């Protein structure tokens, strides 16, 4: 079974994002980037499936400019078999990205796409669902546990939903999106990081995939939300009770 793992290069989750002065976006120059944490989890899960003999091959793919090559190197250092960059000037919006990934998954004859449930930059949580829709595949979103049937004709997915945990069985091929607790990603070892530096990174253009990129969403006026005012440090429990009662939030 060939697994396709789409990954995204995002601003590191520890960075406090700053806005461009003209409100056209956030500052990315000189800012630390990393693999989207949810994609890291998906990749780890894919690698474990290969190690368990369930999958035979793990193909990492990203869409973006030359800088996103870094993220693919990390994927190779973690253990992905191959890495491909779909050449784009910038990271495509979810609809365009899902169109590209659908064409790519077909091209490499993937049986399953495992990816993060959302990117921590745009917080869209859409690409996996769009991809499953485009491909007409089943979808197991927000997965916290997976188990493939012996013949890999289906996969049982435990999903983190608002009310608890839901378990569904998805017919293969499937798109699965990883939630936080699916697994803990490994740190690549230094020798593997060094080896990954010399591994080839394939490139492919949207044209070669037969996809014409179009963005129907225009995004503007990036701004900070109105700040919540920090309040007072209250001296004692009794004073807190009094304050809450006077606000009418505690009887």
**Least distance in angstroms from the C-beta of 198 to another protein:** 35
Which of 34, 168, 201, 213 contacts another protein by CB under 8 A?
168
Pairing of strands 138-148, 33-35: unpaired
Does residue 87 contact residue 204 with C-beta atoms inside 8 Å? yes
Helical (H) or strand (E) element with 37: helix 37-51
> Which CB, 198 or 221, lies closer to another protein?
221
Helical (H) or strand (E) element with 194: helix 190-197
Query: Which residues within the stretch 29-68 sit at the binding site for another protein (CB under 8 A)?
Result: none
Which of 30, 53, 163, 200 contacts another protein by CB under 8 A?
163
Return the range that interacts with another protein (CB under 8 A); candidates 44-52, 53-61, 106-114, 158-166.
Answer: 158-166
Query: Which residues within the stretch 204-233 sit at the binding site for another protein (CB under 8 A)?
Result: 215-225, 228, 230-233
Q: Which positions from 178 to 207 touch another protein by CB under 8 A, shown as an x/- string?
A: -xxx--------------------------
Tokens 């080839």 correspond to 200
Query: d(Cα 213, Cα 201) in Å, to the nearest integer?
Result: 22
43 contact partners, CB below 8 Å, separation of at least 6 = 5, 7, 35, 58, 60, 75, 78, 80, 114, 185
Tokens 């365009």 correspond to 96
> Which CB, 57 or 122, lies closer to another protein?
122
By the rule CB under 8 A, 244 interacts with another protein: yes
> Which CB, 53 or 163, lies closer to another protein?
163
């Amino acid at each position: 079974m060939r697994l396709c793992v789409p990954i995204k290069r995002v601003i590191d989750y520890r960075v406090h994002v700053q806005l461009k002065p003209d409100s056209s976006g956030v500052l990315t120059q000189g800012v630390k980037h990393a693999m989207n944490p949810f994609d890291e989890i998906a990749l780890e899960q894919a690698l474990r499936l290969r190690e368990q003999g369930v999958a035979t091959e793990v193909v990492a793919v990203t869409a973006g400019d030359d800088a996103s090559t870094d993220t693919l190197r990390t994927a190779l250092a973690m253990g992905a078999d191959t890495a491909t960059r779909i050449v784009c000037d910038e990271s495509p919006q979810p609809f365009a990205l899902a169109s590209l990934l659908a064409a790519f998954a077909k091209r490499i004859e993937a049986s399953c796409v495992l990816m993060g449930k959302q990117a921590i930059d745009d917080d869209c949580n859409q690409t996996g669902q769009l991809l499953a829709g485009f491909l007409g595949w089943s979808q197991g979103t927000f997965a916290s546990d997976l188990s493939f049937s012996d013949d890999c004709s289906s996969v049982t997915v435990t999903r983190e939903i608002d009310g608890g945990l839901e378990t569904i069985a998805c017919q293969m091929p499937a798109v699965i999106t990883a939630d936080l607790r699916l697994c803990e990603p490994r740190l690549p070892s230094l020798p593997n990081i060094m080896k990954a530096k010399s591994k080839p990174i394939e490139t492919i253009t949207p044209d070669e995939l037969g996809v014409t990129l179009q963005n129907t969403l225009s995004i503007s006026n990036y701004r900070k939300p109105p700040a919540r005012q920090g309040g007072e440090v209250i001296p004692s429990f009794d004073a807190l009770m009094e304050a809450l009662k006077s606000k009418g939030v505690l009887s």
